[in-house]
């Protein structure tokens, strides 16, 4: 996500210095938009970048940052102007920069293998040449990055739901109740049919959104929001229904279906909550 944003909006010097190691994954990057006091209302962010000669001095905090402290490059949305989206710019901060620090690792419901921390900037000095794009377009850059991010999140939900469906199908084929395999129970057959339909519809809308984004179609932002909304809601339901089919076993950590339920649940919040996705879709649908 960050590599794409640098490639799309960075200058040639920034691309040459950063992209090779990011694309090869010698270095990893974090996207830093959300703050403790501004989640869905991202344009209200307060982290400041004040010019001091040929440098920026950063102060503020970012919250819920994926990979924080384990990643090497931080793409940060900062306030360089007035309140609102037009006062936001985008900068790169590298991990060893003085004044950059991290909070404790958050103890999350899922995503246990990925560190999530607060990122703090205390008189953190970076060169002005670390700015990506011109002044005041940082909010647009952030939103453009989120279009691809929403497809990514929808895709991870789809993967978890597909595996949960397969695990449930296998379990129903071997588990017996009242003298016969559960797979022969008509109610469970109908439930599996609903789950399969959710999987196919989610896969189709994710692929359509990805096609629109790759081809830079005007419909891409709305389709990315639709894909994220539809896939994360429906795929969580698939995972949850699969856990139910395991009965009490599904609630045990010995069975992986419980992890898919925990890990997929956050996707209805990440990269813009699904309530915000509904707002974006509605705005597009109601255009004259």
3-state secondary structure of 271: coil
Give the separation between CA 145 and CA 133, rounded to whole angstroms.
13
Using alpha carbons, select from 11, 132, 114, 147 the residue that is nearest to residue 76.
Answer: 132
CA angle 75, 81, 84 (to 5 degrees): 85
Using alpha carbons, select from 77, 134, 67, 7 the residue that is nearest to residue 17.
Answer: 7
In order, the DSSP letters of 69-116 are: TT-SEEEEEEE-SSSSGGGEEEEEEETT-TTEEE-PPP--SS-TTS-E
Rounded to whole angstroms, the maximal C-alpha distance in the chain is: 80
Q: Which residues are catalytic?
A: 271
């Amino acid at each position: 996500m960050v590599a794409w944003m640098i490639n799309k909006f960075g200058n040639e010097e920034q691309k040459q210095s950063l992209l090779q190691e990011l694309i090869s994954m010698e270095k990893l990057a974090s996207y830093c938009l959300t703050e403790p006091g501004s989640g869905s209302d991202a344009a209200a962010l307060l982290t400041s970048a004040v010019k001091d000669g040929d440098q920026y001095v950063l102060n503020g905090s970012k919250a819920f940052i994926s990979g924080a402290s384990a990643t090497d490059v931080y793409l940060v949305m900062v306030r360089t102007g007035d309140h609102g989206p037009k006062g936001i710019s985008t900068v790169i901060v590298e991990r060893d920069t003085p004044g950059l620090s991290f909070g404790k690792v958050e103890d999350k419901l899922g995503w246990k293998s990925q560190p999530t921390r607060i990122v703090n900037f205390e008189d953190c000095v970076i060169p002005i040449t670390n700015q990506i794009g011109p002044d005041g377009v940082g909010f647009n850059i952030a939103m453009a990055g989120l279009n691809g991010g929403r497809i990514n999140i929808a895709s991870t939900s789809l993967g978890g739901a597909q595996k949960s469906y397969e695990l449930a199908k296998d379990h129903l084929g071997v588990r017996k109740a009242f003298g016969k395999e559960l797979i022969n129970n008509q109610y469970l057959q109908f439930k599996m049919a609903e789950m399969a339909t959710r999987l196919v519809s989610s896969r189709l809308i994710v692929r359509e959104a990805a096609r629109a984004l790759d081809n830079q179609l005007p419909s891409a932002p709305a389709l990315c929001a639709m894909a994220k909304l539809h896939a994360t809601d429906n795929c969580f339901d698939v995972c949850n229904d699969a856990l139910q089919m395991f009965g009490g076993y599904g609630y045990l950590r010995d069975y992986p279906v419980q992890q898919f339920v925990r890990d997929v649940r956050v996707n209805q919040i990440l990269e813009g909550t699904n309530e915000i996705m509904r707002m974006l879709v509605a705005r597009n649908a109601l255009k004259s």
